[in-house]
Chains A and B, each alone.
Chain A
Amino acid sequence: MTDAPIVPDFGDDEEDRKISFVCSKGSLDMAYPGLIMASGALELGIETHIFFTFWGMDMINKKTMGKLKFSPVGNPATHMPAALAPFPGMTTMATKQMNKQLEDLDIPDIPTFLEHLQDMGCHLWACKMSVDMFKLTEDDMIDGLDGVLNVGEFMEIIEGAQTMFI
């Protein structure tokens, strides 16, 4: 029993934190980690930026974002015999299974997930060089994209942020 009530410290007075994720992969299993961590950061009121580059562009390309695949090839963590992994149909099967597992956990698909992040105030940036390389236009990419940046501009934006490369 104490006099002053015990009240959680939500850290509202703390200095504002900032975090950024560089998403460089376009496979299903490598797309989720960045998004899940970004979601966790946003829920804690942390200013969050995601920079999509190279194969990570598939995560925000309207044509591909809903169809990312998971391949067991070269991934010993699937515990599948290595010789079987490259067989036709394996990637489709593994992707289907992973999507099912995610769905069972109520994890949204990539487009829905990105929309959820945007609702929480997440900033989404596309890499200029990748946009040029894959010949993408603004219409090809997710609605509400914050912009296309070169590396220098991105560095300015994330000044003072913790950064994770995925």
Chain B
Amino acid sequence: MPATTIGGREVHVDDEGFLTEYDEWDEDLAKELAANIGIPELTEDHWKVITFLRADYKEQGETATLRRVSAVGGIPTKSLFQLFPKKPARKMSYVAGLPKPAGCI
């Protein structure tokens, strides 16, 4: 696994750049990750998504899909597209320090 430096600290990532170690992530790092992909500021709504994803991953062992974030997390799909433009499933996972969702829907 490659390591890379984000926000002045070394973290482990996969070949694409997604974090591979759940515990290397914290809120400060999330801000850096978001800035890396063109999200300049994390709003309260962003944090709602991130917090749900982190907790759900811990329970389920896999990253929630958009459908799950809306059906279980109660965050409307439409707003996910506003918060993480164009490719919400991948972008939200990246900022939350999780792998891409494996499920199809």
Contact = CB atoms under 8 A, between A and B. Distances in A.
A120 B105 contact: no
A4 to B, nearest CB: 8
Given A10-B90, A120-B81, A43 B66 contact: yes
Contacts of B86: 10, 12, 44-45
Contact of B81 (A2, A6, A11, A121): A121
B74 interface: no
B67 A45 contact: no
A56 B1 CA distance: 47
Nearest to B38: A12
A44 B77 CA distance: 14
B87 A2 contact: no
A116 B13 contact: no
A157 interface: no
A47 B83 CA distance: 18
Interface residues of B, number: 33
Contacts of B67: 39, 106, 108, 116
A8 interface: yes
A119 B105 contact: no
Given A119-B76, A120-B77, A43 B89 contact: yes
Given A36-B105, A39-B105, A40-B104, A10 B87 contact: yes
A8 B105 contact: no
22 contacts: A3-B5, A6-B2, A6-B17, A7-B36, A8-B18, A8-B94, A10-B87, A10-B90, A11-B87, A36-B105, A43-B89, A43-B90, A45-B86, A45-B87, A106-B71, A106-B103, A106-B105, A108-B67, A108-B105, A116-B70, A119-B76, A120-B78
Interface of A: 1-3, 5-12, 36, 39-40, 43-45, 106-108, 113, 116, 119-121
Interface of B: 2-6, 10, 13, 16-18, 36-38, 66-68, 70-71, 76-78, 81, 85-91, 94, 103-105
